[in-house]
A and B are shown apart, each in its own frame.
Chain A
Amino acid sequence: MTSWVPMPDKATARTSIRRIVVALDASRSSMAALEAAADLAAAVNAELAGLFVEDENLMRLAGLPLAREFDRISERPRSMDAAELRRHMARQARQARRALSQQAETRRVTWSFRTVRGHVTHEVRAAASEADLLVLGSRGRSPGSMIGSTARELLREMPTLLLVAPPAGPRRGSVAVLFDGTEKGERALALASDLALSRDRPLRVLIAPNGETDRREDHARAVLGELAGLAAYEELDMPGLRAAPARLRARGCGLLVLSRGALHALGEEAAKWISDLHCPLLVVD
């Protein structure tokens, strides 16, 4: 199945995203990630590959004698049954596959789906190495309510592009890019402008603080070239950067693109910063 959407050649040429892997676990967060991935795949005419990982550790746990789990709601212990867990996982995989096929087919995107068994992080990482872009939900199934452990880990180490989608982000809206003036930043900017152009959305360039304040807008304009006039520019100071998630939400931002380095200024706060975003985040490396 191929996309019928006519795309500017430039978009595919400069970003060269051909294959997008989306990690699915049937959680709400991963469904949002799927939607974001499908949108993106349609926009850049890429192939969408779904991945469902059957957690090896969980299977082992269920296999242990006297294994029991504690119900989150009733806080009561109940014994674990390997067969039941397997059925549960198979059901989740079927759900994920159905969701993927629906999303991809409505957008006429080529898709594939596979289920693997192993350690989640490991398998996702392995799949990502074969792809140009990895997409996953920001909130996984790990304890706690902030950004999921898998996402956090992968965010730190993934060499390829990564898109993290919040549980329920706005479907449409402007494309924003956090530009830090580095080479990777230029890539992020170019990708953002391509996406904005192909999706016919306004582009907002946020210029990250890193000491040398002036002339970076000119830099950004230079990168954008003939598209420079179409974007809105905003220079951020440190408090501005911290408040950016709320601002982007208020302005109806539909996608934020940034290079991994752009978040260095935030240090430890970066994970929380990402969890505050209400729009999908595309990290470029």
Chain B
Amino acid sequence: MPAQPLAPDALWRSCDPEQFDFKTTADLEVVHEVVGQERATDAVRFGMGIRKPGFHIYALGPEQTDKERVIRKFLEERAAGEPVPPDICYVNNFDESHRPIVLLVPPGKGSELAADMDRVLEELRAALEAAFESEEYQTRRRAIEEEAGEEQEEALSGLSDKAKEEGIALMRTPVGFAFAPARDGEVLTPEDLGKLPDEEAESIKARIGELEAELQQVLRKMPRRQREVRDQVRALNREVAEYAVRDLLDELRTKYEAFPEVLQHLDHVQAHMVENVRQFIARPEQQVPPEMAALMEGAGEARPFRRYQVNVLVDHSESETAPVVYEENPTYQNLIGRVEYQALLGALTTDFTMMKAGALHRANGGYLLLDARRVLLQPFAWEGLKRVLTSGELKLESPRDVLGLVSTVSLEPEPVPLNVKVVLLGERMLYYLLSDLEPDFPQLFKVAADFADDVDRTPEGEQLYARLIATLAGQDELRPFDRGAVARVIERSARWAGDAEKLSVQTRDVLDLLREADYWAGEKGAETVSAAHVQEAIDQWVHRSDRIRERMQEQILRETIYIDTEGEAVGQVNGLSVLTIGGGGFSFGGPTRITAQVQLGSGKVLNIEREVELSGPIHSKGVLILAGFLGGRYAQESPLSLSASLVFEQSYSGVEGDSASSTELYALLSAIGEVPLAQGVAVTGSVNQHGQVQPIGGVNEKVEGFFDICAGRGLTGDQGVLIPASNVKHLMLACRVREAVRTGQFHIWPVETIDEGMEILAGRPMGEPNENGEYPEGSVNRAVVDRLAELARLRKEFGRAAGDGGTDEGGQEGSGG
């Protein structure tokens, strides 16, 4: 009893616009929840709730599900109830300047502190200049310096006066001082000296000796006195500076008294400012020639105030919730932050003010979304992320430092305690690969949020889907969709899901369709989008993607590729395959001729595709199953004495998948039994060793592909496709196929077994064995069994003729067992 072709109703599960009680999507309430992703959203909720190390989230699922939007929305809702994290500031470490110190202050205080500090610095220069220019300071300083000068001058002039009384002059020589006998301000000449009485000359000489000893005493005191002066001036400077600095900083101390870390920093600042007060009063332009100053512009030496500044890495003054950060370009530096460098006189220098925040800094205290693939593609990014998440603190190191390749002045900033929830978005494949190959991955990303591709198509599901359409259209500010349009979109979504009982939740595809439909509605000047616009959008999309499909059909229609769609042939069946091209996911089906040849042999089925390594393992497995089926059904009493070969005609690339295994079996049976098969019927479905036909994928595309060829040549009314019965629920066929089926021009037969299929293809019964195990005359099985018996006989004869069949025995046992 051959299987009956499907009724037109079974080819398509339409969506009845009348089930909706709205007029257009404008009447519909927006969906706030995520449609059909309960598992994923539960996981995300759990992952966000659990604040333990390692419970980061990996959101896996197809690209088009808009995971990012969904998760972001979730995170933002959750973040809204969470406190704003502290600002992250870095300040100079006055003891070790290469290890900047981190200051965590409440949100908004960071930028305030930085501004306050800048203002203080600005005022400080003026205040210090005023203090040091002040008359009081100048007077005190002069007093110190002059005191020493006067002391010396007094000592010298005292000595000079004392000498003068005794007729001796103190004189300045090119290198120092000397005493000379003088009279009325005139130094005596040697002659004058000679005229003096000896005693007087001796006495003068003795006096000079005494005075010289005194002079030496005076001179000896000078260096020590100068050192004392310097010390006193320094002490004075410090006193004046401390007064000015403390006065300004005390203002900040009062303001930030609640933050001990800030106070501690202010103490350090004050101590350092007082210690280095010269930098404030010295005028750099007087010390450095202008050309040098230009070169040193921006360098630490030229801008000594930098070291007192506050570098606000993360400023939350504008934030109202915990941060949710999506880093588009997760390079190492964009994640961990970076230290910039400045070329100064040929060397690279840096300091804490050149530290820049990374996404992890910005997201600290909140959530960070990253694309898993991009993180893995960026050098060091994954390692860096892992290190930070494992250690629980964010350390700003450049990859160069981590590798230790180049040694230049660098920073080792104090790490920031990390409290961030990382959400990786990525494909499923990547998740499984990471779980398998990266030992740290399961420790860090313990929560998998698995996004589904589709949802069940129930009446409630369709209602919800309508609201999803309304939401997407509303978000994108598209024209409202009327009921018909919504129904058409739902039908299309089922086709995307490749299943009449499912709806695709790959919202990005849906949104694209909505946008395109909206465009066509706009082109037509319509206020609302109707079913016709949706259909137009689908047709136009197909048309745009269609070139290769058209070319392939053309090759068949012009008989460059041989496909018979009429008549009968032995050992030849049309199989069906699906091709997917381009990023848009456009896929289409088409027929391939599969042929079988049988000759005398030892029971092997030769897969020609495999011989030339064009066959994938699944295909090869399918062919081996055929041998199993043949053996099981026909070789229970005598070995299979044939050798068969199978080939995909005009296939020049690899073959993979087992959806052609039923086709191959039909071709094989036809070839063995020399039973002609109808060429107007194409076949798809895999088969098991018991001859049951099993479901395959892409059934809609395959049927349409063959239909288009037949329609191109003109439908005969006998043509159709055999599909596995279990694929019927997946049918969402195009209108043109449905129409042809309705008018009886084309048929789709659901088959459960090879026998059912064979009866349709061969146009005769398979035949049931009688009590003796014999099949009725004229049945397919009979033809096969007879041919096999004939081949066995021939083989036996051949073996006898050869004298010894020893070599063949082993082969038979192998295949029979």
Q: Which of A69, A85, A145, A246 contacts B177 (CB 8 A)?
A: A69
Given A69-B178, A246-B138, also A144-B173 (CB < 8 A): no
Chain B residues with CB below 8 A from A106, complex form: none
With a CB–CB cut-off of 8 A, which chain B residues contact A119?
185-186
- In the complex, what residue of chain B is closest to A76 when comparing beta carbons? B216
Closest chain A residue to B189 by CB distance? A60
B785 within 8 A of partner (CB): no
B211 to chain A, nearest CB (A): 10
A sample of 26 inter-chain contacts (CB < 8 A) reads A56-B186, A56-B187, A57-B186, A58-B171, A58-B173, A60-B180, A61-B171, A61-B180, A63-B189, A64-B190, A66-B205, A69-B173, A69-B176, A70-B212, A72-B219, A75-B176, A75-B220, A77-B212, A80-B173, A142-B172, A144-B149, A144-B157, A146-B149, A246-B133, A246-B135, A246-B138
Which residues of A have CB within 8 Å of B177? 69-70, 72, 143
Please tell me if B439 contacts chain A, counting CB pairs below 8 Å. Answer: no
Known contacts A70-B177, A72-B177, A75-B216; is-contact A143 B170 (Cβ 8 Å) = yes
- Report whether B212 and A60 are in contact in the complex, using a CB–CB cutoff of 8 Å: no
- The listed residue (A58, A61, A71) touching B176 by CB distance below 8 A is A71
Say yes or no: B220 contacts A57, CB within 8 Å.
no
Closest 4 CB pairs of A and B: A144-B153, A69-B178, A75-B219, A143-B156
Contact, CB under 8 Å: B182 / A57? yes
Q: Is B452 an interface residue (CB 8 A)?
A: no
Structural contact, B175 and A71, CB atoms closer than 8 A: yes
Max chain B Cβ within 10 angstroms of own Cβ: one of A56, A63, A70, A71: A70
Interface string of B133-157 (1 = CB under 8 A from A): 1010010001000000100110011
**What's the Cα separation between A69 and B211 when bound, in Å?**
12
Interface string of A39-78 (1 = CB under 8 A from B): 0000000000000000011101101111111111101011
- Also in contact, A60 and B188, with CB within 8 A (given A71-B176, A243-B135): yes
A57 touches B187 (CB 8 A): yes
**Interfacial chain A residues near B190, Cβ < 8 Å:** 63-65
A residues sitting closer than 8 Å to B (CB atoms) are: 56-58, 60-61, 63-73, 75, 77-78, 80, 85, 88, 119, 141-146, 243, 246, 250, 276
Q: A57-B171, A57-B187 are in contact. List 17 more A-B contacts (CB 8 A).
A: A57-B182, A60-B187, A63-B189, A63-B190, A66-B205, A67-B180, A68-B178, A69-B175, A69-B178, A71-B175, A72-B175, A75-B219, A141-B172, A143-B170, A144-B149, A246-B135, A250-B133
Q: Which residue on chain B has the smallest CB distance to residue A121?
A: B185
A70 with B215: in contact, given A64-B180, A64-B181, A64-B193 (CB under 8 Å)?
Answer: yes
Q: Which residues of A contact B133 (CB under 8 A)?
A: 246, 250
Task: Say which residue of A60, A85, A146 sits within 8 Å of B153 (CB atoms).
Answer: A146
Q: Smallest CB–CB gap between A147 and chain B, Å?
A: 11
Closest to B149 in A: A145
Q: Which residue of B lies closest to A59 (CB)?
A: B187
Centre residue among A75, A77, A142 by max chain B CB count within 10 A: A75
Report Cα–Cα, A240/B755, bound state, in Å. Answer: 125
List the A side residues contacting B289 at CB < 8 Å: none
Question: Known: A75-B216, A243-B135. Contact between A61 and B178, CB under 8 A?
Answer: yes
> Closest CB of chain A to B156's CB: distance in Å?
4
With a CB–CB cut-off of 8 A, which chain B residues contact A63? 189-190
Question: Which residues on A sit within 8 Å (CB–CB) of B156?
Answer: 143-144
Distance from A120 Cβ to chain B, minimum over Cβ atoms (Å): 11
Q: How far is the CA of A64 from the CA of B178 in the complex (A)?
A: 12
A71 smallest CB distance to B (angstroms): 5
Which residues on the B side are within 8 Å of A246 (C-beta)? 133, 135, 138
Q: What CA separation (Å) do A58 and B174 show in the bound complex?
A: 10
Q: How far is the CB of B210 from chain A (nearest CB, A)?
A: 13
Q: In the complex, what's the smallest C-beta–C-beta distance from B208 to chain A, in angstroms?
A: 9
The CB with the most chain B CB atoms within 10 A, among A73, A143, A243, A276, is that of A143
The complex places the Cα of A7 from the Cα of B219 at a distance, in Å, of: 51
* Given A67-B180, A70-B216, A77-B212: A145 touches B153 (CB 8 Å cut-off): yes
